[in-house]
Amino acid sequence: MSTDQLNELPATEIVQKIATGSISAEAVTQACLDRISAREDAVKAWAYIDPAYALTQARILDDTTNKGPLHGLPIGVKDVIDTSDMPTQMQSSAYEDHQPKTDAACVAILRAAGAVILGKTVTCEFAGSFPGPTTNPHNPSHTPGGSSSGSGAAVADYMVHGAFGTQTGGSVLRPASFCGTVGYKPTYNLINRSGLMFAAENLDTIGLLTRTIDDADLLMSVLLNRPRSEVLPGDAIPKIGLCRTHHWESALPETIAALDDSVERLTIAGAEIVDIALPSSFADLSAARNALNDFERSRVMADLWQNEPDHLSDNIAKQLENGTSMEFATYQNAVILANDSRAQLDTVFGDVDFILAPSATGEAPEGLSYTGDPQFQGCWTILHVPTISLPTHLGPNELPVGIQLVGRRWRDETLLSWSRWVVDKLGTWR
């Protein structure tokens, strides 16, 4: 394989080849930088990147005999997560050239394992809804989703082998579905959040965008100091709960087709599929998530709202105004509903191994001013369960359409194992 193809290999293969000495960290980093040079003007995935510094990191690693489990692997970091050697600017003029003194915990762990921190990926403003310049790599007139826009686009376009995202509503899974990558949101707070600019502390979850499930599992094994998740035997047969959720009326034909096709083919593969109806009270979870988001965000950003409002977009200003004026009882009731709903999850899951649900309403919408509807992701985010978007289908405009698998809280490895099984049966869109 020529060095200009190294950016296309899975992360698991990259670290194996570097470990055996068949390729160098510098060659892999250069391949990613070459791709960025060729495509960044169109995709606009990066908020900050210094090619010379990235190569310096790689060369230092090549001169090191002690190789970590991620030795030489290029990683992108969403620009709301601190990096000690690169600015963290939140896609906001209020944080222009802001330079943290330390790495966020998740960055520090990957760096210690030998990863090359390639650069900072574009985020919507403060991981909210006001988009940055990033385009969908498969059609630049369509959104890449948000708020982990740059991470989803960079991974999908072979600019980097994996990237951190964050999810407060649907900010990991929606870019994954729209851009055609794996998007994994772990159980709430499973990845340590030290060094993350909070949006809403009862919702924010650091997640991953990768091209394969094995790549996500590799990064999680390092972040959590755990073994890789189990590869299930070929004769394993799951019981799957099909949950269209209370938002099914928002599903576009391509999402309906993706779910119907998945059900048909997984049934042929031997899976038992049962319908799951959520309790009626779960219909209010989206409104509760919005209340948590606005109330908590208004506290996180109180200083900016009071002293530098001119730096804020109309989108986020409206959220801060809503949160600042919100009565505490409204917030309290949202927290209570969320807790009560989580207490019902064992009953919701019953005896199924995982839940199959829509990942997004459909293909990536046309235009860059709107990053898509977060309802199909947000209802699971507030429940604190692990979820994953798998890049299995293609829509009518030749854009990716993902499916979402949902696991039980703290059973992330089980979800990853069954996700491999599903991809093995369905394949991916490309």
The set of catalytic residues is: 78, 147, 171
Residue 196 to residue 337: CA distance in whole angstroms: 26
Q: Which pair of structure tokens corresponds to residue 147?
A: 């708020």
Name residues whose C-beta falls within 8 Å of residue 180's C-beta, 6 or more positions apart in sequence. Answer: 138, 156, 391, 399, 400, 402, 428, 429, 430
Interatomic CA distance for residues 79 and 357, integer angstroms: 29
- Cα separation, 365 vs 397, whole angstroms: 10
Instruction: Specify the length of the chain in residues.
Output: 430
Is residue 75 packed enough to be buried (19+ CB in 10 Å), middle (13-18) or exposed (0-12)? buried
User: 217: Cβ–Cβ under 8 A, 6 or more apart, which residues?
Assistant: 228, 229, 416
* Cα 421-113-36 angle, rounded to 5 deg: 75
Which of 256, 45, 297, 330 is closest to 169 using CA atoms?
297
| Rounded Cα–Cα distance for residues 334 and 135 (Å) | 34
- Residues ≥6 apart with Cβ < 8 Å to 221: 69, 227, 228
State the DSSP string of 167-223. ESSSTTHHHHHHHTSEEEE-STT-S--TTB--S-TTT-EEEEEESSHHHHHHHHHHH
Closest to 118 in 3D by CA, of 54, 62, 165:
54
**Euclidean distance between CA atoms 388 and 351, whole angstroms:** 20
